[in-house]
């Protein structure tokens, strides 16, 4: 079992844990409370090599991959820490690390945590409540579409054009954004699960009306209703001191949302979680 080194609780109930494994490696895991249940955000690697410009985890280079058992340890450690009547109802592999850079272990974890034989009927999380989030490793998206159980896929998109995305996320130089969206469409068609595109709104970087129109255009396909396959999660940014980046103003965020909706793209404007405890990944370990 992983040891809890520290725990921070936000005003909105978000709990952020710093855990340590037997070899001394420390990772973060975050529990978010929603109206629909408790969602655990699991880390898949200690550190990350993907180098996304807005991410605190990218400042801490990958030390090693986590095993399926270690990811399961995150689940059980937090489960035990909750009061008896509280259960983890949802799992998102969206913490530190690129899950598809550690594909086999992440898939094993998803299979284990959703298996009532391993977890017991009460603790097991249904596959439809498990989401894996990738920065855009296309071959693994296609592989993930063929797994026996159907899990949800989220794609960290954050920019609608190659020019901007190349600057924000180096992975885009290998897997361009239009190909990425096509692979997500294939995933959705094959699994019958709608794919979530995560989009951090960064002040003056990716939040203009032009960006919103370009995003709508990217997600539109002739003859298809994109909302059958995709939706966009607009996310407020938890600032990271080292980067000098700021989240978009509320008015700008609402305008971006309106443009998408008018163009027929289903979007949600996510509530900030745990901003007072710096819940963006890597921030606790950096401290
Ligand atoms: S956003 Fe995800 S993939 Fe990118 S550096 Fe951070 S942890 Fe890695």
What sign does the dihedral 175-178-182-188 (CA atoms) show? positive
Ligand 1 neighbourhood includes 191 CB (under 6 angstroms): no
Ligand 1 neighbourhood includes 98 CB (under 6 angstroms): yes
Tell me the CA–centroid distance for residue 52 and ligand 1, in Å.
6
How far is 18 from 188, CA to CA, in rounded Å?
Answer: 34
Among 17-26, 48-57, 154-163, 180-189, whose mean pLDDT is lowest?
48-57
* Closest C-alpha to ligand 1, atom 4: 52
pLDDT, one tens digit per residue, over 208-234 is: 999 999 999 999 999 999 999 999 999
pTM of this structure:
0.93
* Closest C-alpha to ligand 1, atom 3: 98
Residue-level pLDDT at 83: 77
Name the CATH topology of 3-280.
TIM Barrel (3.20.20)
Residue-level pLDDT at 106: 98
Residue 56 has pLDDT above 90, yes or no: no
Residue 285 has pLDDT above 70, yes or no: no
Ligand 1 neighbourhood includes 50 CB (under 6 angstroms): yes
Ligand 1 neighbourhood includes 58 CB (under 6 angstroms): yes
Ligand 1 neighbourhood includes 52 CB (under 6 angstroms): yes
Tell me the CA–centroid distance for residue 124 and ligand 1, in Å.
27
Tell me the CA–centroid distance for residue 147 and ligand 1, in Å.
24
Residue-level pLDDT at 263: 95
Question: Which atom from ligand 1 is nearest to the alpha carbon of 94?
Answer: 2
Pair 201, 257: CB distance under 8 Å: no
How far is 22 from 73, CA to CA, in rounded Å?
Answer: 11
Ligand 1 neighbourhood includes 157 CB (under 6 angstroms): no
């Amino acid at each position: 079992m992983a040891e809890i080194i520290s725990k921070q609780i936000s005003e909105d109930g978000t709990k952020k844990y710093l855990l340590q494994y037997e070899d001394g490696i420390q990772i973060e895991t975050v529990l978010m409370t929603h109206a629909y249940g408790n969602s655990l955000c699991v880390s898949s690697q200690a550190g990350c090599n993907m180098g996304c410009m807005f991410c605190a985890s990218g400042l801490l280079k990958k030390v090693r991959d986590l095993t399926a058992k270690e990811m399961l340890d995150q689940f059980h450690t937090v489960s035990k820490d909750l009061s008896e009547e509280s259960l983890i109802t949802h799992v998102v592999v969206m913490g530190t690390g690129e899950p598809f850079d550690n594909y086999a272990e992440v898939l094993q974890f998803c299979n284990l945590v959703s298996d009532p034989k391993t977890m017991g009927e009460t603790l097991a999380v249904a596959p439809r409540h498990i989401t894996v989030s990738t920065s855009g490793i296309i071959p693994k998206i296609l592989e993930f579409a063929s797994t026996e159980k159907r899990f949800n896929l989220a794609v960290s998109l954050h920019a609608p054009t190659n020019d901007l995305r190349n600057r924000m996320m180096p992975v885009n130089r290998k897997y361009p954004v239009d190909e990425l969206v096509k692979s997500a469409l294939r995933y959705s068609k094959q699994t019958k699960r709608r794919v979530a595109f995560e989009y951090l709104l960064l002040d003056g970087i990716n939040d203009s009306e032009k960006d919103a129109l370009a995003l709508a255009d990217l997600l539109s396909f002739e003859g298809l209703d994109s909302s059958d396959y995709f939706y966009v999660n607009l996310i407020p940014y938890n600032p990271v001191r080292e980067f000098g980046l700021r989240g978009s103003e509320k008015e700008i965020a609402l305008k971006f949302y309106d443009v998408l909706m008018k163009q027929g793209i289903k979007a949600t404007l996510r509530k900030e979680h745990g901003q007072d405890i710096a819940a963006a990944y890597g921030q606790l370990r950096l401290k």
